[in-house]
Structure 1
């Protein structure tokens, strides 16, 4: 689940041009903090004891639990790496996703509820983000002429131009990020992630957790 944080971005300290991306990628160390968008300082090495501790799987965890734990860890690493990518454009990963959603919805735009549903968030938690993006001139919030209760989000010229600028280098950089995966691996990963996204959407509609002493088949993967 995406964490709706919009940390202050000091554009003076971000990467200045596209060519520095390769340098940043080569020097990046995965963040050890559980806070999103935190980058480990270059040159600060983790201790051998910490490395050994991190590499040891928890034997009491099922395959499912280990998979989700790894997915969570990778998501933190990914957000840390992408922070510098989006910071070049004074964006966050969440804002980028919202711009994409609105653009892909077509000329009619999309509703705030649709954005909230896609991000698995409540409308109230999304409203602050939408309002900030509106104040920054990235989107418009228009009232439907036949139903004043319905409001549509559409991209402003500035928002569309910004999205176009990001996407000029986005594909190349994502290929670099997944360079250790061949075409079959990337295709399989996309298939798995697509099914997971659909599963999470359905799960979020009825978020009922079973207490540990009431669960069945706890040893199943």
Structure 2
């Protein structure tokens, strides 16, 4: 096969690919809407709080947040600014070299994360996990791990999201 020749998807592959695209888009939109309705926080803001909660002292370098979420630094800065105004996060000069900026989750942010986690996990369960049997869910995990492994190998900067 020449490098310019396209290996088209067969009908089943095309249907599965489109189901993945539509399903993942609808799932993310639904999870975002539920968090906004129940807690006045976006899925992106929730993910920032999760990353901070998993970091020592609930503190993480702003650049690291951007890398782990695969967002631009300016997008994360804008989101964190909003969260800072709401009292969920504080920003300080990085303690290790003073050139960077660290984000620190406040107690208010921690309380919100604890409340929002119930909504989020319930949504993930209702709209995703509980819709598949264990074998299907395990197969999806294997496929997505293969996708991740290949893409990380091709682009090592992706390792930061694992």
- Separation in 2 of the partners of 1:184 and 1:173? 21
- Aligned equivalent of 2:139, options 188, 192, 214: 188
Quick one: higher RCO (CA 8 Å, sep 6+), 1 or 2?
Answer: 2
The runs of at least 4 aligned residues of structure 1 exceeding 6 Å deviation read none
Instruction: Please tell me the root mean square deviation across aligned C-alpha atoms, in Å.
Output: 2.7
What are the ranges of 5 or more consecutive residues in structure 2 without an aligned counterpart? 1-6
What are the ranges of 5 or more consecutive residues in structure 1 without an aligned counterpart? 1-59, 207-221
Structure 1 pair 204–148 and aligned structure 2 pair: CA distance change class (3 A): same
| Map of 2:122 onto structure 1 | 172
Higher helix share: 2
Q: Computing the radius of gyration over CA atoms, which structure comes out larger, 1 or 2?
A: 1
| Map of 2:31 onto structure 1 | 82
- Separation in 2 of the partners of 1:139 and 1:171? 22
- Separation in 2 of the partners of 1:173 and 1:127? 27
| Contact in 1 for aligned 2:62/2:100 (Cα 8 Å) | no
| Map of 2:97 onto structure 1 | 147
Structure 1 pair 71–114 and aligned structure 2 pair: CA distance change class (3 A): farther
TM-score (norm: length of structure 2): 0.73
Equivalent pairs counted in the alignment come to 146
- Separation in 1 of the partners of 2:146 and 2:155? 12
| Map of 1:33 onto structure 2 | none
TM-score (norm: length of structure 1): 0.56
